[in-house]
């Protein structure tokens, strides 16, 4: 790689962008919601319940409907997952995470389009709409 003035200008712009992003309300809200999830005893208990249900289900999953209590364990797993997902701190964290990911996807798309319209951007958000998006099966052209 050749280091010239253009390289250093790009590096400086990236540092500014990173700094602006880290200090943005969007990122700060994301961090705050992440800390609430990590510090919540209720969330930890729901996660433990989910993981126990998942482990119990995985032990009999390969036997399918022939395993005793297959439907019951599958239902318990789904209920534990739904309860965890709908917990207020968890749902807020997931919302903030999606908001941040959308902004990151838009930044990547803008950078790629600046270079070439042929560059495909793999967006982390399945709902991200872009004419450059490739639905997770991106290949460099």
pLDDT tens-place string over residues 82-119: 999 999 999 999 999 999 999 999 998 888 888 888 88
What does the pLDDT read at residue 125?
A: 64
Instruction: Give CA–CA dist 84/111, Å, rounded.
Output: 36
Q: What is the pLDDT of residues 18-49, one digit of tens each?
A: 999 999 999 999 999 999 999 999 999 999 99
Instruction: Give CA–CA dist 12/6, Å, rounded.
Output: 10
Whose tokens are 């982390």? That residue is 124
Write down the pTM of the prediction: 0.76
Q: Tell me the domain boundaries of the chain.
A: 24-115
């Amino acid at each position: 790689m050749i280091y010239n003035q253009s390289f250093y200008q790009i590096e400086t712009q990236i540092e500014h962008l990173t700094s602006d992003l880290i200090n943005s309300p969007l990122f700060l809200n994301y961090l705050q919601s992440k800390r609430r999830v990590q510090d919540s005893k209720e969330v930890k208990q729901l996660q433990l319940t989910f993981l126990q249900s998942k482990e119990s289900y995985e032990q009999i999953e390969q036997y399918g409907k022939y395993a005793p209590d297959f439907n019951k364990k599958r239902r318990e797993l789904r209920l534990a997952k739904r309860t965890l997902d709908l917990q207020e701190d968890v749902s807020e964290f997931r919302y903030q995470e999606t908001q941040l990911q959308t902004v990151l996807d838009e930044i990547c798309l803008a950078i790629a389009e600046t270079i070439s319209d042929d560059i495909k951007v793999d967006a982390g958000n399945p709902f991200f709409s872009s004419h450059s998006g490739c639905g997770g099966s991106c290949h460099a052209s």
